[in-house]
Structure 1
Amino acid sequence: MSKINTQYTTYGVLFAISGGHFINDSIQSVVPAMFPILEKSLDLSYSQLGWIAFMLNMTSSIMQPVFGAAADVKPRPYFLPFAMVLSTAGVIGYALAPNFLLVLLAALFIGLGSAVFHPEGSRVAFMAAGSKRGLAQSIYQMGGNGGQSLAPVFTALLFVPFGQIGALLFTAVTLAGIFLLYNVSIWYKKQMINTGTSHNKSGKDSSLSIPNAMKLAILLLILFVFARSWYSAAITNFYQFYLIEGYGFSIQKAQFYLFAFLGAGVAGTFFGGPLADRFGRKNVLLFSMIGAVPFTLMLPHLPEFAVLPVLIITGFIILSSFSVAVVYAQELLPGKVGMASGLIVGLAFGMGALGAVLFGMMADSFGIRSVMLLAGALPLLGVIAVFLPSDAKLRSQQL
């Protein structure tokens, strides 16, 4: 176990960093929430919308492991408020961008803010967890998924009535985030001083002793999260258009259904940690994908009355492994908390950016229904979890 871990769970800090995660991911969710507006106001194609999602997620996914590895060598507490400064710049640009290229630039800044925030945020959650690492990671990730779930609400309540300029309202949120994360960074720095971890040499050296079997397990876990993120990318970025085209929904009604999926995912994220503590991390990982398969396959074929309950069930099941995958990665890479977070929350999950681009191109060429049919089969790849090390083997590695 990394020596920065504390004996007792510091709930005040956990909920504070979860609040920062909520704000960070709320700002990220502004990007897809604006898609129905940008499609009309800037006359963008599905492919261009996919490229915007690509810029946001790919920036975050590529840079998170870099910042995570740097944080393992030398933690930087004040990166937390700095990340929110980058997001502030991005959201202002997103509100004022008059064309596609400037929208891409604004998405780049929001993605960089997320890349800087997540590794340090995961370290804070780890430090404040004490012995309750599963619960702590659930609290932390629940904040992030809660922020992401608000994208449909933003669309329906802000962007439909106010248009693109409505994104400026979020500067007040990011300013509050800067203040909150500045205070968290003060606690973070004090913990580093108290535990002597201003330069985490143990984290640096531990990378040399990772067994080949564990490296393979990390690769399998990345592929697992990759498949889950592609499904999430299809739902988050394009399912609203499927509802509008296939069922004749208004933008507002489509956003309500999308919010139901994401809100159920928040609940799944929270309960996933305790469920993993009871039934095992590997078992929850496997169930979160294979258990969702019947629902993801039937979703494109349902009558309207059945769509909402199936969306809720799917969201709960498929995102129940979100926090579990992060904790599992941290146990595969003991002493490399930042890198584990960067690989799973950043690289693997962020690879949904590639899915967004390909799905956008597919929608332009073959129609939005083809995207939903392909996405429905992606959770079948969750069978990869069968080949992951058991929980007992992970525990033996910690000893």
Structure 2
Amino acid sequence: MASSFPDGRRPKTHIAVLVTLGLTHLLNDLMQSLIPATYPILKQSYMLDFARIGLITMTFQIAGSLLQPVVGAITDKYPAPYSPVAGMAFTLSGLICLGFAQSYTAILAAVALIGIGSSIFHPEATRMARYAAGGRQGFAQGLFQVGGQAGGALGPVLAALVILPLGQMSLSAFAILALVAMSLLIWIGKKQKQISADFFAGRSSSATTHGTSAYAPTTIVVGLIVLTALMFTKNAYGESFRSFYTFYLISKFKLSIFSAQMMLFIFLLASAAGALLGGILGDRIGRQRIIWISVLGPLPLTLALPYADLMWTGILTVLINLIMASAFASILIYAMELLPNRIGLIGGVFYGLNFGLGGIAAALLGNLADSYGVETVYFLCSFLPLAGLLAWFLPRLNPHPH
């Protein structure tokens, strides 16, 4: 992949900052992932149907999405390196409230607080990953994603080992993770000025340095619409697993809750590996090639999944998520190249709006599961990767736009 720095100077890559950002992303998404990981417990305790479970997901995702583009747009103009610390405070309060919730309404309020915390965390953390990356953007976003995906994978394990035997109130104990994340984010905030200076010192004097896009408005609009559509279908398929995979395994293969949670963990762990692999390969072979592989590659596997036995269900779901997750870093960097001066907004949109749309998809899938069964949901979702054909309309980006 050609360098984005035509004068030959590559900004410094701040590995320690990137690793710490990945760790805070791990803690953030681990705390979030406790929500769907506890669905079997909440379903049994509160006699919830799939529609109400989908509504919990939608509430969390909407709360986590509505503010993200707004926060991103504001921090583009007024950088706020310590804003993720405030976001973690919301997550902390949400976990405590969820642990002590005594009604369905209280559950919805608690997950909304956790969603708001996520909406404040992601835009500024995405900007810091961009600046700390230097000339290794794919690696940086992939590493940042590995943290988030690994945290998401750990949720079902902790739910099975801690929350399942100890009960709903044990959720509040995980608030200590928010305190750890807050201390790490304070350290990162102190590095913001130096990292920003190093990044911009290594940029060329092209338009991208001075805050204007080098691409025509039509190219930008078409690119962002296609990327949003691809991200939505990817997230919709992912939500079918995060919210309903354990129920699918229990219904079809008569697994215990513990065994189903372990299979969900393996599925989500594959996502972490795919995110890092996709980011590294995107630096080497190009963003668009990775996007094509990721959005269409899983199609034959998703079509085969509804007919697979237990062993092949495990194998196919790992391969599907490994391939599907590889696109996120490339999609995000592609969008940042289209609008290089709106990193916070891009982070807010692709972490926020699209995950909010994924939450709406979860609510719709919940209604389908109640009406037609959870196995029918996976049959219908198996066709979602066909939307990857939209990648044909992605405009090609120049390595050195003028």
TM-score of the superposition, structure 2-length normalised?
0.92
In 2, the alpha carbon distance for the partners of 1:349 and 1:377 equals: 20
RMSD: 2.1
Give the conservation status (yes or no) of the 8 Å contact 2:134–2:199.
Answer: no
Give the conservation status (yes or no) of the 8 Å contact 1:272–1:284.
Answer: yes
Q: 2:144 — aligned with what?
A: 140
Structural mapping, 1:27-176, within 5 Å: 27-176=31-180
Query: Aligned match of 2:22 in 7, 18, 23?
Result: 18
Moved beyond 4 Å, runs of 4+: 189-197, 202-205, 207-210
Equivalent AA in structure 1 for residue 335 of structure 2: A
1:191–1:205 distance in 2 versus 1, CA, 3 Å: closer
Equivalent AA in structure 2 for residue 388 of structure 1: L
In 2, the alpha carbon distance for the partners of 1:343 and 1:180 equals: 25
For residue 34 of structure 1, report the CA deviation from its aligned partner.
1.0
Between 1:219-228 and 1:366-375, the stretch displaced more is 366-375
Between 1:348-357 and 1:5-14, the stretch displaced more is 5-14
Query: Aligned match of 2:274 in 265, 268, 278?
Result: 268
Structural mapping, 1:1-399, within 5 Å: 7-191=11-195, 206=212, 211-390=217-396, 393-397=397-401, 399=402
Equivalent AA in structure 1 for residue 339 of structure 2: L
**Number of matched residues?**
390
Query: What secondary structure sits across from 2:165 in the alignment?
Result: helix
Between 1:182-191 and 1:318-327, the stretch displaced more is 182-191
Give the conservation status (yes or no) of the 8 Å contact 1:25–1:148.
Answer: yes
In 1, the alpha carbon distance for the partners of 2:122 and 2:326 equals: 19
Deviation digits for residues 193-225 of structure 1 (CA, Å, limit 9, x no counterpart)? 88899xxxx999637985222111101100000
Deviation digits for residues 282-325 of structure 1 (CA, Å, limit 9, x no counterpart)? 11111112110111111111112211111111110111112111
In 2, the alpha carbon distance for the partners of 1:365 and 1:204 equals: 54
In 1, the alpha carbon distance for the partners of 2:214 and 2:93 equals: 38
Equivalent AA in structure 2 for residue 349 of structure 1: F
1:192–1:315 distance in 2 versus 1, CA, 3 Å: closer
In 1, the alpha carbon distance for the partners of 2:196 and 2:71 equals: 18
Structure 2: gaps spanning 5 or more residues: 202-207
Query: What secondary structure sits across from 1:389 in the alignment?
Result: coil
Query: What secondary structure sits across from 1:213 in the alignment?
Result: helix
In 2, the alpha carbon distance for the partners of 1:295 and 1:71 equals: 41
